[in-house]
Structure 1
Amino acid sequence: MKKLLLALFSLVLLVGCQTKNSETNSDSGNKTLDTITVAFLPNEGSGTISTVDQMLINELQKALGDGVKINGIVCDDYSAVTEAMLTGTAQIAWESGATFVATKMEDDAIIPLVTYGVDGDVNQASYPAFIATNKANEADFAGKTKEEQYSQLVDKSFSFVSATSTSGRLVPTTTLFMAFGPEGNGKVTTKTQVFEKTTKDGGIFSEVQFGGNHPGSVQLIVENKVYAGAFCCKYGDDYMDQLYIIDEVDVPNGPLWVNSDYINAEMQEAIINHFVAMTPENSVENFFDNENGFFFESDGAGANRFVKIPEGFYDFLYEMYKD
């Protein structure tokens, strides 16, 4: 089956993921690799391995030693990362908890190793995803139950971040479906009705827009171009006097994940032990730096530490993919 998948996806992957300064292994069935490839998304539109991505590659090299060479490829989008991991074009990935879950649902050989949280605390290994409206609409929600607050959104305009965003589309879609789906008030029967259809054709909202990114969705709300919308993290911090938060969901941080058909148990343990032990003192220069480091500044990079992923950590993300 995997050889068939490789044949089907090989041409797509040559376009979807570009190898940078690396020598790809031509035989994905070879489980003992001299070169291990890490899949990344483009950094700020660049098709090359970024400085911060190279930091992760360097730390993986330190974890696995000189017996293998660690390279990186840049993939066009999340689906290309999934395809690379399923076909063995890449064996390790960092991008997106949702992408990991979607890939694992295709192949159980995909497993997560470590994530990150403040001071290495798994209870702080998450980030907030918000549904908010303009402060001018606060009176529509004040004093109401959560169910009543969600009812206020019906037949109003709403902004998601993008069709593929975890915290800006998948998470709010799941939250809204819990309120309006069969286990809620029964207004809709499928999740696609939440973000694809308007009230004219069986959806919830009078209009659905996409901000393109988190700041874009915030601006749509602040500028009253939509009644409410979704965004995550600290992107709304500069506008909190103009935003009313309707709901907040904690989204688990993304993992460093591997295809265990290629990264064996010994290698997995070496990666986990190395990353959990990382500090600003023993890591490559600037890895934990708030401005130039591997983590986003909005994550509070200097306080982050890696932590081994416990069982059930991504259960909410699996819930997102249920019909």
Structure 2
Amino acid sequence: MKKRRFGLLLAAAATAALLGACSEGDAESTGKGDDVVDIVWYPNESGNDLKSARDAIGDAVGEATGKEVKHHLTTDYAIAIETIVNNNAELAFMGAQGYIEAKEGNDAIEPLAVPTGPSGTLDDAKYHSWIAVEKENADEYKDGDGYTIDPIEGKSFSFVSNSSTSGFVVPSSSILNHFSDKGLSEEDLMEGGPFFEQVQFGGSHQGSAVNLLKGTVEAAAFCDTCVDNYVEVAEGEENTAGSVYRVKDDAAEPFHTVPGEEFVLVSVTPVLNAPFVANTEVLSEEDFTKIRDAFTSDEMAENEGVFVPEDSEQSGLFKKTEGERFVEVEDSWFDPIRELSN
């Protein structure tokens, strides 16, 4: 399955490359030790509303290295992964599955740092993969005092990208385990027919959520952190099956087209936090160390442009509720995600 997914990734990248990628910097190949550090971002983090958050990260990297920082914005997971695999970026922020695929494509890709949970350690360095449905259809998924994903069979469904950890790998694993008696594979979930009536890929977590809220699909997978800036809990507790979320009235694109729309969580699964990774083929060991030290410093942990205070209205990549910070992480930490694809 790994080879199949990576093959799909390469094919998608080749197609997407013809269309080009949106970028704040040029995409020329870099050389180890040059005067530019290129950071490539997934579609989820490439929106205008997160520019200040990207800039805060870029400023920290520039200050640590004394080099210019350029941001590559993308509209496709495959483009982001191939950009760093092909030595066209030094750094990337990507999910665990994206890192695993990048590592398979280029062994020089190394994890740099991971944001922790409130404890300030890796013990709770997790976010959440959701399967959600529109509020008007939520009763169909009730099962006693809880919720079940039984009714998603035969429905139209939206994933994020087949390279997304929380938008494909984790929810597809949950579906395959739940319907284990049907003998399904990941490939069966990628297109309509074997299990779903129709399958769409939103291209980003935001895109998958909007597919649901516009009624394009009947159920969708996306994660909490990628839509946190656009939605709020309307009923229940966050990250709990049965909770109702509502799109904020002033939500930025692409949620500006669905203000006030509501959805209900029917499945919630914890996922390992996404890492910043480095391509050590084009990033020198000295710069790797400088950037890692800057990321894991107390100064970075207290940077409100990176770890946005919980009560702030500013959009950000990470929230500061207690002791959140960046910590070093080894490749083996991602093995639980690798195992889902075996």
Relative to the length of structure 2, the TM-score reads 0.69
Tell me the equivalent position of 1:191.
186
- 1:268 Cα deviation from its structure 2 partner: 2.4
* Residues 158-185 of structure 1: per-residue CA shift (max 9 Å, x gap): 43243354423332112212333xxx32
- 1:318 Cα deviation from its structure 2 partner: 2.3
- Paired residues in the alignment total 289
Q: Which residue of 313, 317, 324 maps to 1:291?
A: 313
Tell me the equivalent position of 2:333.
313
Distance 1:33 1:247 in 2: 46
Change (3 A) 1:236 1:196: farther
Alpha-carbon contact 2:46-2:73 (below 8 Å) kept: no
Tell me the equivalent position of 1:259.
279
Distance 2:331 2:89 in 1: 24
Tell me the equivalent position of 1:114.
113
1:125 aligns with 2:142: no
In structure 2, give the amino acid aligned to 1:288: F
Distance 1:108 1:75 in 2: 23
In structure 1, give the amino acid aligned to 2:139: A
Tell me the equivalent position of 2:144.
142
- 1:142 Cα deviation from its structure 2 partner: 2.8
Distance 2:211 2:233 in 1: 13
Alpha-carbon contact 2:301-2:307 (below 8 Å) kept: no
Change (3 A) 1:244 1:31: closer
Change (3 A) 1:116 1:154: closer
SS of the residue aligned with 1:314? Answer: helix
SS of the residue aligned with 1:163? Answer: coil
Tell me the equivalent position of 1:238.
234
Tell me the equivalent position of 1:169.
168
- 1:60 Cα deviation from its structure 2 partner: 0.8
Distance 1:17 1:62 in 2: 25
Change (3 A) 1:14 1:132: closer
* Residues 204-261 of structure 1: per-residue CA shift (max 9 Å, x gap): 23444567635436647xx8973x5433326573352587755322111211101011
Distance 1:185 1:107 in 2: 37
Relative to the length of structure 1, the TM-score reads 0.72
Tell me the equivalent position of 1:57.
58
In structure 2, give the amino acid aligned to 1:88: N
* Residues 56-88 of structure 1: per-residue CA shift (max 9 Å, x gap): 111012222x2x333222233221112221222
1:205 aligns with 2:206: no
Change (3 A) 1:278 1:237: same
Distance 2:165 2:217 in 1: 22
- Larger Rg over CA atoms: 1
Alpha-carbon contact 1:92-1:258 (below 8 Å) kept: yes
Distance 1:137 1:167 in 2: 24
Stretch deviating more after TM superposition (123-132 or 81-90): 123-132
Distance 1:102 1:187 in 2: 25
- 1:112 Cα deviation from its structure 2 partner: 0.8
Alpha-carbon contact 1:17-1:84 (below 8 Å) kept: no
Distance 1:13 1:35 in 2: 25
Change (3 A) 1:168 1:300: farther
In structure 2, give the amino acid aligned to 1:58: D
